[in-house]
Chain A
Amino acid sequence: MSERAPFLVGYLDNETNQSDLPPSSDVVIIGGGLLGTSLAYYLSKSGVETVLIERDDINREASGTNAGSFHFQIALHQLTPNMSESEKRRLADEVRLQVDAASLWDEIEQELDADLGVHFDGGIMVAESDDEMRVLKEKDVIEKEAGLESHILTGDEMRAFAPYLAPDLAGISFCPREGHANSLLVGPTYAYRAWQNGALFRTGCDVTRIERVSGGGDLKGKRFRVITSRGVIECNRVVNATGAWAAELSAQLGLHIPLGLSGLHVNVTEPREYFLKSMIQHIGRRLTLKQTHNNTFIIGGGWPSREEKFPKRYSNTWSSTTGNLAVALRVLPMLADVKLLRTWSGVWAYTKDFKPILGESEKVPGYHIAMVPTGFTLGPMVAQMLSQYMTAAPGKGKLPTEFNIDREVA
């Protein structure tokens, strides 16, 4: 790891960032979260002319507020109350996608030549009750079938393996592949490397409208006019990577994107001597818990935060704080005297069928969307897939049909 991450952050020197929008570009990416920045990286690496436009600073929304977990095991939020055969198939598909993402994360620090706090020290999923234990076993079967290694441990075996856990838990599954990374650094590092590849960035630049240029369809002439708070730029292809805000711009083009939004709560504590290598999750309750390489504990797992009117950030609630911490304490009692330092929240966007929305619209050719619910885990990988699609010879690019952006989701 040659450069220490803090030095990567000169990623956009102020002068370039503050200068005017270029009049045109082949691709304009809207949104500087992980999806936008990693796509800018992969496209620029292939020599595609790319301008990324972000209304705030890079990585300030979901991509810089998430808990940084790699969700490779099937987690609580993917489950349905009763698992039918088709549910199981859906889950197996999701696991396969997650396994693919793992290989990208294996190599990301090398690819970007930076320390991103990537840990692959495994993930523990705990079950408190017999019911939860049953789910754990069911999911274990699906995971194994999909090619993800995991182990079920109970009783003394569990206690010997993870002596720090509450001894009376019903059991755990352990997935050696799981891990986490520093979400504050991944997006900006992609941006920095993309910028080195020649991609242009403009922050503090709010896209207010996307217009189709009439007589479009001619690949040489530009098909879109993107209107921003800092001027207008024309382009051949637009990628909407605005996460939780993806529906608004799409609606201007007559496209309906079925997004659900939810504010999520995260806690961080003071540092303690490093001991917890594995990430911990709960199969029946909302919990993710990990010790970072700065020795603090990050505790999250999907507790809600309170909606606020943009641009105010969603606020944290007392009940989510104390509820989330109680689940953490139930699983890891030794946290009792560790001090909570701060909470924060971010807006999480998900699709109703929980699949990515990825690709080019058939209704509006040239218009692309890049969005995925577990976007920290899967973001870079789906961005890479989209980049491959966009750099393939015309008509040759392929993306999974179930990601189709024109699909109807109830």
Chain B
Amino acid sequence: MIDSQFDLVVIGGGPAGIAATSTAASFGLKVAIIDERATFGGQIFKRLGEGFAIQSPDDLGKDYARGARLIDELDQPRISKFTATTVLTIEANQIITSHPVEGVRSFNPKALVIAPGAYDRPVVFPGWTLPGVMTAGAVQTLVKTQQISPGKRIFFAGSGPLALAFSAQLIKYGAPVFKVIESAPFPSPAKLLGLLSSVNGNWDLAGDALRYRSTLLSKRVPFHYGRIIIKAEGSGRVEEVTHARVDRDWNPIPGTEVVESADTLCLGYGFFPSHELFRLLDCNFDYDETRGGFTVAKDHWGLTESSSPIPIYAVGDGTGVTGSYSAEAQGRLAGLHIANHLGSLSTTERDTQSKGFLKELNQRNKFQRAINKMFEVKQGIYQLADANTVICRCESVKAKEIDPVIDSTCDLSVVKSYSRAGMGLCQARNCQRQIAAMIAKRHDRSISEINFQTPRMPVKPVEIGKIADPSIREEKYFIQ
């Protein structure tokens, strides 16, 4: 069934998608917002598990309050909400989705916003697939929504502002984090000055960071700069973790290893944008390791070039990771531009209304850039595996099985077809960059030159029975 009633479809119900939806709807557009999760709010505003009573909203922090406010913005008559609805593919102007009960539904709006968010950056090192090694996002979900701690002795390894935020949050919720390591060096005075000069308009974020730091201090959790995780060991589960000092490129320095006992290793090395849909639409990309590798090329309204006949707006962390405030501002700007484009808002009015958001976006981005300078992700993060490390966990392919293939090709698709790395359930979301880095190193190229494997639909796995359509008949064959 094709739903033709909408002016705008928004994919992704995080801060970026919600902001775009409510802004566009406030000018009279009919908007459908789609998210594969059961509730809106995206990554940041995870709701409590069912039957869970909130003791005090403060416990959940201001993220929760902000999330609740945003989600409330969706209660407008012109907005139709589709949860548990997964976008499988986009064909020209048609957005094709599937719902576990209601089945397939297609939309053909006049404009499309894509705000699919980001996921935890996988870091590959010996032992990364052991039970007890978890991403910060997964630990956060457990702790925040179910108040379950994954272990009794949690070692936190990561980098970037979220490493600090995550670990502090976990500690606040009572999770037993006993040590935190950060790969970036202790910030130099110059970098701190750079950060300071960008604080204006970002006092809230700067304040957050200070609070996080003081949480760690008050709980006496040691925080070490310039170290990276290099190994996790244990029989059947993490028992020991090894970390080491790093050089400028984040390569571990031999002789600086420290072994600690831990039953859980929590990894927070930042995020990768979910760019499958952008790739299907032939959008252009830039490369910025610290923002998650490939980032979508777009203008400040979020408008991006694509093979679709309708305007495509790319907003939020799925286009390059810049955080939830920037995501929200990007969403608002896209909403305004679409309202103008579809004739519901004059250009003057659009430009007036966008001033504030543009200013906010610029301020947020300035702060983010200063932060990113402090926590620049270096290529050493891709050099932690040894020959026996599993690189593709879906298909259990080890580094030593991939190396001989890489010897003769720079093409990720070729590596995949010979080694099976990247063929499994996650469709290379987790191993693609790692393999690209291996290729880059072998052939003395930059990782940004190693292209994606060919994008194909569906962007998420789906049961055959949910989409098979007996009404479609093929042409009869041929020799006449």
Query: Which residues of A line the B interface, CB within 8 A?
Result: 5-7, 9-14, 17, 57, 59-60, 64, 76-81, 184-185, 188, 269-270, 285-286, 294, 302-304, 312-313, 316-319, 321-323, 325-326, 328-330, 335-344, 354
CA gap between A77 and B419 in the complex, in Å: 32
User: Considering the complex, which residues of chain B in the window 387-446 have a beta carbon less than 8 Å from any beta carbon of chain A?
Assistant: 401, 404-405, 407-409, 411, 413-414, 417-420, 424-425, 427, 442-443
Chain B interface, DSSP helix/strand/loop, else mixed? loop
What B residues does A57 contact at CB under 8 A? 409, 411, 414
CA gap between A316 and B455 in the complex, in Å: 10
A339 and B418 contacting across the interface, CB-CB below 8 Å: no
User: Considering the complex, which residues of chain B in the window 426-480 have a beta carbon less than 8 Å from any beta carbon of chain A?
Assistant: 427, 442-443, 454, 456-458, 461-465, 467-470, 472-475, 477-480
With contacts A78-B479, A318-B96 taken as known, whether A9 is within 8 angstroms of B408 at the C-beta atoms is yes
Query: Other CB < 8 Å A-B pairs besides A14-B443, A286-B474, A343-B457, 19 of them?
Result: A9-B404, A10-B404, A13-B407, A14-B408, A64-B417, A76-B477, A80-B480, A270-B425, A302-B474, A323-B474, A325-B464, A330-B470, A338-B464, A339-B462, A340-B458, A340-B463, A341-B425, A341-B427, A342-B458
A319 and B478 contacting across the interface, CB-CB below 8 Å: no
What A residues does B85 contact at CB under 8 A? none
Query: Which residues of B line the A interface, CB within 8 A?
Result: 89, 91, 94, 96, 104, 282, 401, 404-405, 407-409, 411, 413-414, 417-420, 424-425, 427, 442-443, 454, 456-458, 461-465, 467-470, 472-475, 477-480
What A residues does B407 contact at CB under 8 A? 10, 13-14
A6 and B454 contacting across the interface, CB-CB below 8 Å: no
CA gap between A76 and B425 in the complex, in Å: 32
CA gap between A316 and B96 in the complex, in Å: 13
Closest partner residue, chain B, to A79 (CB atom)? B477
Closest partner residue, chain A, to B461 (CB atom)? A339
CA gap between A169 and B292 in the complex, in Å: 52
Most buried by A among B462, B463, B474: B474
B463 and A323 contacting across the interface, CB-CB below 8 Å: no
A10 and B408 contacting across the interface, CB-CB below 8 Å: yes
With contacts A14-B408, A80-B480, A340-B464 taken as known, whether A316 is within 8 angstroms of B457 at the C-beta atoms is yes
What A residues does B443 contact at CB under 8 A? 14
Picked from B404, B454, B463, B472, the residue with its CB within 8 Å of the CB of A336 is B463
What B residues does A330 contact at CB under 8 A? 470
B391 to chain A, nearest CB (A): 13
Picked from B414, B454, B468, the residue with its CB within 8 Å of the CB of A326 is B468
What B residues does A81 contact at CB under 8 A? 480
CA gap between A299 and B26 in the complex, in Å: 46
CA gap between A294 and B454 in the complex, in Å: 21
Closest partner residue, chain A, to B421 (CB atom)? A6
A79 and B479 contacting across the interface, CB-CB below 8 Å: yes
CA gap between A318 and B463 in the complex, in Å: 14
B78 to chain A, nearest CB (A): 28
Closest partner residue, chain A, to B404 (CB atom)? A10
CA gap between A337 and B419 in the complex, in Å: 27
Picked from B408, B417, B458, B472, the residue with its CB within 8 Å of the CB of A17 is B408
What A residues does B458 contact at CB under 8 A? 321, 340, 342-343
CA gap between A61 and B424 in the complex, in Å: 21
B472 and A322 contacting across the interface, CB-CB below 8 Å: yes
CA gap between A294 and B424 in the complex, in Å: 10
B468 and A322 contacting across the interface, CB-CB below 8 Å: yes
28 A-B pairs within 8 Å (CB atoms) are namely: A7-B401, A14-B407, A57-B414, A76-B477, A78-B479, A80-B480, A185-B418, A286-B477, A294-B420, A304-B475, A312-B282, A316-B456, A319-B472, A322-B104, A323-B472, A325-B468, A329-B464, A329-B465, A329-B468, A335-B465, A336-B465, A337-B463, A339-B425, A339-B463, A342-B458, A343-B458, A344-B456, A354-B479
Most buried by B among A10, A77, A322: A322
What B residues does A302 contact at CB under 8 A? 474, 477
Picked from B405, B409, B463, the residue with its CB within 8 Å of the CB of A6 is B405
B335 to chain A, nearest CB (A): 28
What B residues does A17 contact at CB under 8 A? 408
B474 and A285 contacting across the interface, CB-CB below 8 Å: yes
B89 and A318 contacting across the interface, CB-CB below 8 Å: yes
CA gap between A80 and B413 in the complex, in Å: 38
CA gap between A328 and B470 in the complex, in Å: 10
A79 to chain B, nearest CB (A): 7
CA gap between A319 and B104 in the complex, in Å: 12
CA gap between A383 and B272 in the complex, in Å: 46
B173 to chain A, nearest CB (A): 34
What B residues does A5 contact at CB under 8 A? 418
What B residues does A269 contact at CB under 8 A? 464
Closest partner residue, chain A, to B416 (CB atom)? A184
Closest partner residue, chain B, to A342 (CB atom)? B456
What A residues does B282 contact at CB under 8 A? 312
CA gap between A78 and B420 in the complex, in Å: 33
Closest partner residue, chain B, to A8 (CB atom)? B418
A184 and B473 contacting across the interface, CB-CB below 8 Å: no
With contacts A6-B419, A294-B420, A326-B472 taken as known, whether A335 is within 8 angstroms of B408 at the C-beta atoms is no
Closest 9 CB pairs of A and B: A336-B465, A323-B472, A322-B469, A326-B468, A325-B468, A339-B461, A9-B418, A184-B417, A326-B470
B464 and A339 contacting across the interface, CB-CB below 8 Å: yes
Most buried by B among A14, A76, A285, A317: A14
Closest partner residue, chain A, to B408 (CB atom)? A12
B464 and A328 contacting across the interface, CB-CB below 8 Å: yes
Closest partner residue, chain B, to A57 (CB atom)? B414
Most buried by A among B405, B427, B480: B405
CA gap between A329 and B466 in the complex, in Å: 11
B404 and A325 contacting across the interface, CB-CB below 8 Å: no
CA gap between A325 and B104 in the complex, in Å: 14
B461 and A323 contacting across the interface, CB-CB below 8 Å: no
Closest partner residue, chain B, to A350 (CB atom)? B478
CA gap between A303 and B96 in the complex, in Å: 19
Closest partner residue, chain A, to B106 (CB atom)? A318
Closest partner residue, chain B, to A58 (CB atom)? B414
A182 to chain B, nearest CB (A): 10
What A residues does B477 contact at CB under 8 A? 76-77, 79, 286, 302
CA gap between A313 and B413 in the complex, in Å: 12
Closest partner residue, chain A, to B428 (CB atom)? A342
What B residues does A11 contact at CB under 8 A? 408
Closest partner residue, chain B, to A78 (CB atom)? B479
Most buried by A among B425, B442, B456, B462: B456
CA gap between A326 and B474 in the complex, in Å: 11
Picked from B425, B462, B469, the residue with its CB within 8 Å of the CB of A323 is B469
